[in-house]
A and B are shown apart, each in its own frame.
Chain A
C-alpha cells in the first residue's frame, strides 16, 4: 500500500426518484488495498459503486480517481457487476463476454481483433475457464459465470477493480480461486474494492474495510476497525463476531 489516494469520494448523496439511499458519503481509498465494503441488504453498496463509476448520477458530491474525474480515468478502472444484473440467456459465448472487457480500450466503432482475443483467452485461462470458452453463457453454473465476469475484469488490465459480490453463489473452491486472484492483483499494486457479505472471512481476505449503511459508518484497516462496535452500528443488531484466526 502506498500513500497515494486511488479513489476519493466527497459528500456524495445519491437518490432514486428523489429518495436518497446514500447520504453524504466521504471516503478515501488508498492505492494498493484489498478492501471490503460491508453492510446489510439495501445499504447502498451497489449504489455506491455505480455512482463512483458514473453509472448513476449523484444529486450531490463528487468522485475522483487519482485526482481526476472518472470520465478522464475510465481506462484505469474495471468493474464486475452483481451477477443478477445481466440476462444470462443472451445469445453469446463465454469468450465473447470476456472480450467485452476490451471494448473500453477500443473505443467507439473499432472492432476487437486478434490481440483482444488473445488477451481474453489468457484471462479465461487464469480463471480456469478456458475449456468453456465456446459455451453459451446460460449453460454455465453460477460459479462459472462469476469466473467469466472476473476474467472480463482482468482483461481490462486496470489499476482499480470494483467487484459487486464476486463470491455470491460460488462454492469453496471457486471462492479460494477468486480470492487468490484478487490477492495477486493487490501484490501487483492494484487497488481492489469488493462488496462482501460473509463477515467471517473479512479479516482473512481483506486488509481494508468500509462499513456502509446509507451513511458511511467507518473506513480503515481491518485490524483497527473491524470490531463489534462498528458491526453493531452497521447491522443494527447487537453483533458479536467470533473472529477466527
Chain B
C-alpha cells in the first residue's frame, strides 16, 4: 500500500467513527432525517465562509457552516411548533430553501470561486491526501486528517463526559427535565456535534456519505443488540469496516470511493436485516413457523387428553377431523414423538406420562390467562423445538 492509500483509509475510518457516535443517538431519537437536512443546508455557510477565507479547511468556514446546520434545526423546530405541519414536512421545507441559497450563491459567483455543488455533495476522497498541512515547510500529513481527527477527539470527549445525560434524555425526556438535565441543551449539543462532524467531513467524503455513515451503521447495529454501549461499539465497527472494504471495492472497480463505501453500508445493512439472530427477517419467519407448529402440537395434545375413544385417537383422524393437511399432521406427530410426549401403538396415539404432565400444566396456564408461562415451560419439556 502506498502512503496515499493508507491516508485515505485512515481519513475514511476516522470519519466513520466520528459519524457513528452522533448517528447512534440520532437513530434512537428517530431523527435520521435531520442529518440529511443538516448535510444539505450547511452549503450556504460553506459558500459564505469560502468567500471570506478562500480556504475550505479554515476554522471560520467550519464555524459558519456549523451555524447553518444549527439554524436548520432551529427553523425546523420553529415551524413544527406552529402545529401546522409535521416534523418531516418542516424538514422538507427548510433544507431545500437553505440549500438553494447556497447553490445560487455559487452560481452567481462562479467566476471567482472554485467550488462546485457536486464536490460538496459527493466529495472526493481520492484527492484528500493532496491537500497537505504544512507548518513552516514541514509536511504534517493531509489537512482533512487533522480536521477530522480533531472533530473525532471532541466527539469522543463529549461522549464520555455526557453519556449518562444523552442516554437519559434520549430515553425519557420528561425525567431528564425533571431531574434538571435540560433536554434542550442536550438536544442542541447533539445537533451541534452532528453539524460540526458533517462540516468537517464533507470536504473529504461529501455530504451524502456523511449522512450514510451517520445513519446506516447505527440502524444496522440496532438490529443486533439491546445494549446501548454495544450498539455504539457495533456502529463504529460497521462504519470502519464499510470505510475500508468500500475503499478496496472502489480500488478494484476503479469507481468512486464514497459511492463504494455507501454501497458497502447498504450491503451490510441488508445482510443483517435478513440474518440478524432475533430481529432479522429470517429469524422472525422461522420463529413464526415454530410457533405455528407448537400451537398445533398443543392443540393435538389437548385433544388426546380430552378423548379416550380410540376412533378419536387414530392417526388418520388427525387429517380428517382436526382438519389438518397431511404434511402438518406428520410434522406435529413427529415433533410429539421426538419429545416423548406420545406413543403410537397400532396407529392409535396415546399420551405418555410426560405428555400428560405437560398438557395438564399448559391447561392450567391457559385457564389462568398466563399463556406467557407456556413459553418457559417449553424450555423445560422440549428436547426439540418445532
Give A residues with C-beta under 8 Å from B: 16-17, 50, 53-55, 71, 74, 77, 79, 81, 85-87, 90-93, 97, 100, 103-104, 106-109, 111-112, 136, 138, 141, 152
B83 proximity list for chain A (CB < 8 A) = 16-17
A54 CA to B225 CA in the complex, in Å?
34
From B82, B171, B178, B226, contact of A74 by CB (8 A): B178
Q: Chain B: interface secondary structure? A: helix
User: Is B52 located at the chain interface by the 8 A CB criterion?
Assistant: no
A74 proximity list for chain B (CB < 8 A) = 178-180
A16 proximity list for chain B (CB < 8 A) = 83
- In the complex, the answer to whether B171 meets A100 with C-beta atoms within 8 Å is yes
A109 CA to B181 CA in the complex, in Å?
10
A55 CA to B231 CA in the complex, in Å?
29
- In the complex, the answer to whether A100 meets B172 with C-beta atoms within 8 Å is yes
Contact A53/B177 with A81-B172, A91-B227, A92-B227 known, Cβ cut-off 8 Å? yes
A91 proximity list for chain B (CB < 8 A) = 28, 222, 225-228, 230-231
A81 proximity list for chain B (CB < 8 A) = 172, 174-175
Task: State how many angstroms separate the Cβ of B322 from the closest Cβ of chain A.
Answer: 32
A141 CA to B372 CA in the complex, in Å?
10
User: Range of interface residues on chain B?
Assistant: 20 to 34
Contact A112/B164 with A17-B81, A91-B227 known, Cβ cut-off 8 Å? yes
A109 CA to B162 CA in the complex, in Å?
6
Contact A100/B175 with A90-B170, A109-B161 known, Cβ cut-off 8 Å? yes
User: Is B165 located at the chain interface by the 8 A CB criterion?
Assistant: yes
Please name 19 pairs of A and B residues whose Cβ atoms are closer than 8 Å in the assembled complex, sorted by A: A53-B177, A53-B178, A54-B177, A79-B178, A85-B172, A90-B170, A91-B28, A91-B226, A91-B230, A92-B167, A92-B228, A93-B226, A103-B168, A103-B181, A106-B164, A108-B165, A109-B162, A138-B226, A152-B175
- In the complex, the answer to whether B171 meets A97 with C-beta atoms within 8 Å is yes
A103 proximity list for chain B (CB < 8 A) = 164-165, 168, 179, 181
- In the complex, the answer to whether B178 meets A55 with C-beta atoms within 8 Å is yes
- Residues of chain B from 214 to 250 with CB closer than 8 A to chain A in the complex: 222, 225-228, 230-231
The 8 closest A-B pairs by CB, nearest first: A104-B179, A136-B226, A53-B178, A55-B177, A81-B174, A79-B178, A17-B83, A86-B172
